[in-house]
Amino acid sequence: MAAVPEHLPATHHGTAIAVDGRAALIRGASGGGKSDLALRCIALPPSLLLPSPAELVADDRVVMASDGNRLRIEPPSTLAGRMEVRGLGIVAMPYVPWAFVELVVDLTAPAEVDRLPDPPLRTNLLGINLPLLRLAPFEASAPIKLLLALESCKD
């Protein structure tokens, strides 16, 4: 079977949220806190520190495709507007139909998070070089850290 060209849409494991059309792709092990972290980001109200609210793009699986030098992300049609909330089940959620990935977040144990990553971490998805944040998902400050990192990716 031939490999799928990188510019064609492909489904990947992950959860994505967006702020003003700029997305963070959250990656990690199954049951590792991706949906929980996304839910906590979405629940944060706008503030002076984070003036725009986060919105769901996709939970559990995402469809990605390169769009020139950007990575476009959207939910698979069967999962659009749905999020798994542990203890409640699948919940209908408002969502944005697509966004451009500006940040990749890898969930990890607290001991594996560098205090001051130098140089800043990067990763490559579908041939596109993106900032990478390693984050311990269950720390109280995790949603704020994720949203601050996404905010810092603005052009």
Structural domains of the chain sorted by starting position, each given as residue range(s) with its CATH number in brackets: 10-152 (3.40.50.300)
How far is the C-alpha of 99 from the C-alpha of 119, rounded, in Å? 27
Q: What is the mean pLDDT of each run of 10 residues along the chain (155 residues)?
A: 56 95 95 95 93 96 92 96 94 97 96 89 94 96 96 83
pLDDT at 7: 58
pLDDT at 10: 85
> In sequence order, which residues have a C-beta less than 8 Å from that of residue 5 and are 6 or more positions away?
none
Element (DSSP H or E) covering residue 89: strand 89-92
